[in-house]
Structure 1
């Protein structure tokens, strides 16, 4: 199963490399695009859940790495939750 990584820039300028067990992330994000914080988290949640389910279909168990990545994204997003203008940029899809 092909994995995909995506690099994001948080509202404070910090960057993070993120993991997906599936290329489905490419259906939810465009490199260079900025997303409102809530929209980014919603897209990441849906993409990572789909990726995890694809792993379940193929191997019989969910992808814990995808759920760990989602937890990291949600935790990081909480830091900016009070800023209604907060955006996340998807720097690149790898």
Structure 2
């Protein structure tokens, strides 16, 4: 199963590197995309849940790394107002262009 990383620039300028066990993140976020903290929490949470379910479907167990990433994102997001803006500065690998 292809895995990926994505980098988030938080409202205070700090950058957090995040992990996903699936490329499904590309369905929810884009490089250069700007989202409110609240929207980013929703999108990333849904994507990481779906990624974990893909792991369950393939291997028979959920991905604890996806849950840990979601938890790290939630803890960081709690430091900012919901309407503050985050930016996705990188996603590796980038989506294939068709």
Structure 1 segments unaligned to the other structure (5+ residues): none
* TM-score of the superposed pair, with normalisation by structure 1: 0.95
Whether 1:68 and 2:76 are equivalent positions in the alignment is: no
Rounded to whole Å, the distance in 2 between the matches of 1:77 and 1:34 is 14
**Alpha-carbon deviation of 1:85?**
3.6
Rounded to whole Å, the distance in 1 between the matches of 2:37 and 2:83 is 8
Structure 2 segments unaligned to the other structure (5+ residues): 93-98
* 2:95 paired residue number: none
Alignment: residue pair count: 92
* TM-score of the superposed pair, with normalisation by structure 2: 0.91
Pair 61,39 (structure 1): closer, same or farther in 2 beyond 3 Å? same
Secondary structure of the corresponding residue to residue 47 of structure 2:
helix
